[in-house]
Amino acid sequence: YCCKIQNIFLRLPGKKGTGPQGWGTQCKLQLYLWLGLTKHKKDYLSGLPTGYELTKEIKQSIKITAPPPAFINYQEKQLFQLRAHLYQGRSMIGSDSSGLSDPFARVSISNQSLCTQVIEETLSPTWDEMLVFDQVVLYGKNNNIQENPPMIVIEVFDQDTVGKSEFIGRALANPVIKMVSDPYDKPDFPPLLEWFSVYRGSNAAGELLAAFELLQLPAPGDTRHDHNLPPGVPAIDKTSDRGPIIPVPRGIRPNLSKHKIEILFWGVRDMKRLQLTSVDRPRVDVECAGRVITSTVIENAKKNPNFTQPVKYIEVELPEREIYCPPISIRVVDCRTFGRFTLVGTHVINSIQKFRYIPKVRKPERKLLTSIPGQGTPRGSVQGLSHPTKPNNVTPPLDSSPGPHQPLIKDNHVIDIPVPHKGKDTKTDKDADNKKKKKK
């Protein structure tokens, strides 16, 4: 921590900073600290980004008895654009009485901050939104910014209809930096989505799937590096604080495919009392990828704890890669009088890969031709004909076995085998002989 710029998050003093009201950040402070011997004081500014003006006060501050300068004036500054790609979150903390939340994310860098849209009543929100920060000013030279990129703070809140938004958790991230002369090509660009852990204090509060890229903008009037900019840079709109919602670009967002989720709602067992009242009319809600499927309500769990309509299904679009797949959230509520719902319990299945089935495409069966041992060309096939003729009286070799694409004989297939007779013992043969004798 010595000789480095640190980010410090300030909270409320005393006991106010330990409860739910003190979880949020009141202020973010950037500090440069140096602790060393007096004989090493000449190096106390070596950790600062270069590009500041060497004034007389800074030169004299190297002396042992001289105090540090009151301020530092930076002459070199760089202009950047930050693109925050927020796709989805999972396993968020439920802040409402229903066990769900209305989450939205707030991204902060330097002295700017923007918020995403609010996704109502979910623990796995899918924002699919790109936040664009224009005119992000960073002080120092290019090499200093590449070695020490600025920290991005992502805070997730639960929006309440009454009162302030409740703090859910915070995540920290470093962006991928692109200088004006660097090409916007692979492997660094476009950046890949990755999961960031969200914490509320020392406790885990969920995960966030996002990507961040910091793009250096050329000087005004300089068009030499326009080909290095990524496609579709949105124009700067200074007239409004909030523009239209921009989705995550296609090269960054995961590829989706349509799936059908089939659920068998069998029943409930061992339901404990809730608020000194037995759970009589339970209902199960299953959520995945922003879609919710609800079971039927059991009218009396004591008499019959099974659901009347067990099988239900929904169609969702899921990412093809397992790392991007959302979890499955299961919630059980008790349906009480006057339309009230009381949360009984929740469960989250983080990985859905063990329930996933991808059918394999079957290859078309090949037409088999029986060949004569010792000959290369099968009998019954003629070169130049599209349909080979049927072979006659061809006996396959004794050691031949059915191939991988050759169907086996079915069990119910009946084969009639004629039996030769040595003598004329049957009744039909005797009648035929008697007729011949009479004619003679």
Query: What pLDDT was estimated at residue 228?
Result: 65
Contact between residue 198 and residue 205 where contact means Cβ atoms under 8 Å apart: yes
User: How is 216-247 classified by DSSP, letter by letter?
Assistant: EPPPTT--TTGGGSPS-PPPP--S-SS-PPBP
Q: CATH number of the domain at 256-355, please?
A: 2.60.40.150
Are the CB atoms for 378 and 391 separated by under 8 Å? yes
Tell whether the torsion through CA atoms of 293, 296, 300 and 303 is positive or negative: negative
Give the pLDDT of the chain (440 residues) as one tens digit per residue.
688 888 888 888 877 777 766 777 788 888 888 888 888 888 888 888 888 888 899 888 888 888 888 889 988 889 999 999 999 999 888 887 777 889 999 999 988 999 999 999 888 899 999 999 988 999 988 888 998 899 999 999 999 877 788 899 999 999 999 998 888 888 888 899 999 999 988 889 999 999 999 999 887 766 666 666 676 544 545 445 555 789 999 889 899 999 999 999 999 998 888 888 889 999 999 999 888 999 999 999 989 999 999 999 999 999 988 889 989 999 999 998 888 888 898 888 888 888 888 777 755 555 544 444 554 444 444 444 444 444 444 444 444 444 444 444 444 444 444 444 444 445 555 566 666 655 55
Alpha-carbon span 327 to 287, nearest angstrom: 8
For 411-414, the CB contacts below 8 A with 24+ separation are none
Distance CA 265, CA 214 (A): 48
Nearest in space to 82 (alpha carbons), one of 3, 9, 11, 149: 149
Alpha-carbon gap, residue 272 to 275, rounded angstroms: 10
Q: How confident is the model at residue 438, as a pLDDT? A: 58
Q: What CA–CA distance (Å, rounded) separates 17 from 10?
A: 9
List % helix, strand, coil for the chain (3-state, nearest 5): 10, 35, 55
Residue (of 276, 349, 329, 351) closest to 98 by Cα position: 329
Cβ-based burial of 226 (10 A; exposed 0-12, middle 13-18, buried ≥19): exposed
Report how far residue 106's alpha carbon sits from residue 204's, in angstroms, rounded to the nearest whole number: 18
CA dist., res. 261 & res. 348, Å (int)? 16
**Residue 86 structure tokens:** 């927020």
224, amino acid identity: R
Q: Are 205 and 199 in contact (CB under 8 A)?
A: yes
Angle at 152 between CA 191 and CA 28, to 5 degrees: 180
Gyration radius from the chain CA atoms: 37
* Residues in contact with 225: Cβ distance below 8 Å, sequence separation at least 6, in sequence order: 180, 181, 218
409 phi/psi in degrees, rounded to 5: -70, 135
User: Would strands 166-173 and 4-10 be described as parallel, antiparallel, or unpaired?
Assistant: unpaired
Tell me, what's the pLDDT at 64?
A: 84
Cα separation, 171 vs 152, whole angstroms: 8
- Distance of CA 419 to CAs 409, 416, 422, Å? 22, 10, 10
**Assigned CATH class of 76-220+244-253:** mainly beta
| Element of type H or E holding 144 | helix 142-147
Contact indicator for 246, 130 with CB cutoff of 8 Å: yes
Q: CA 216, CA 43: separation in Å to the nearest integer?
A: 30
Domain boundaries, the chain: 76-220+244-253, 256-355
Q: What is the pLDDT of residue 243?
A: 59
Distance in angstroms (rounded) separating the CA atoms of residues 239 and 29: 29
The pTM of the full predicted model, rounded to 2 decimals, is: 0.73
What are the strands, taking DSSP E only, across 280-340? 282-288, 291-294, 311-319, 328-335
- Confirm whether 76-220+244-253 and 256-355 share one CATH topology: yes
